[in-house]
Amino acid sequence: MSRVLVTGFEPFGGETTNPSYDAALLVPGVTAVELPCVFADAPAALREAIERHDPALVLCMGQAGGRAVISVEKVAINLIEARIPDNAGARPSGLPVVEGGPDAYLSTLPVKAMVRAVRAEGIPAAVSYTAGTFVCNQVAYALAHLIATERPGLRGGFVHVPYAPHQVTDTDRPSMETATVARALTALVKASDSLEDDLPEGAVQ
């Protein structure tokens, strides 16, 4: 397997952990990097990690509190609308991720094949058509833009993961064990080389 970079985020929104980075640390054979949950810093941190590690594949992950399944993101949009402050206290609204960039990027990874690979491990997964408008979507867009404009040989995409159980013990919100997320991520990395994403049977969900 060629070099793989996996990024997760630092905790945000009052949490003390973030399952996206905790899971990244459990995936064998990849480089795990933690990104700041800060609009002003995250894209540069992503770029620096890519330049340092020169991967063939980058999978960025983020926590999607409230979602119950692994979500492979198909779309990243050129828009920032923060409902809560980021970790630097900023709450930007109505701004593009990249001034003058296209309105959105559709992922060039085989997202449907990737979802099938996770399900084959017995783990719930789905293609998602919105990565939100917070730092996760910013990083998803920044990665797609970097690939489109500077690194055509790089492959990459974004995946959202549920809360870890310990984050939501006194709620009725869905969660997923971090070890399970790591198994899903391992399957996603392998499947990202798949060439059969446009199978005729249609959308995975």
Q: What amino acid positions are annotated as catalytic residues?
A: 73, 136
Of residues 4 and 185, the one with the C-beta less far from a second copy: 185
Q: Rule CB under 8 A: which of 17-56 touch a second copy?
A: none
User: According to CB under 8 A, which one of 44, 102, 149, 190 is a site residue for a second copy?
Assistant: 102
- Residue 28 burial (C-beta neighbours within 10 Å; 0-12, 13-18, 19+): exposed
User: According to CB under 8 A, which one of 13, 45, 53, 124 is a site residue for a second copy?
Assistant: 124
Q: Quick check: 97 binds a second copy (CB under 8 A)?
A: no
Task: Report the distance separating Cα 152 and Cα 149, nearest Å.
Answer: 7
Read off the tokens for 111: 């997202």
Task: Report the distance separating Cα 14 and Cα 17, nearest Å.
Answer: 9
CA distances in angstroms from 72 to 36, 37, 112, 114, listed in the order given: 21, 20, 8, 8
The phi and psi torsions of 31 (rounded to 5 degrees) equal -95, 125
User: According to CB under 8 A, which one of 23, 37, 59, 74 is a site residue for a second copy?
Assistant: 74
Q: Measured from the CB of residue 59, what is the shortest distance to a second copy in angstroms?
A: 20
Q: Measured from the CB of residue 52, what is the shortest distance to a second copy in angstroms?
A: 29
Q: Quick check: 195 binds a second copy (CB under 8 A)?
A: no
Of residues 57 and 69, the one with the C-beta less far from a second copy: 69
CA nearest to 86, candidates 162, 159, 140, 137? 137
Cβ–Cβ under 8 Å, residues 133 and 80: yes
Q: Quick check: 89 binds a second copy (CB under 8 A)?
A: no
Q: Which residues bind a second copy (CB under 8 A)?
A: 67-69, 74-75, 77-79, 81-83, 91-94, 102-106, 112, 118-119, 122-127, 129-130, 132-133, 165-166, 168-177, 180, 197-198, 200-205
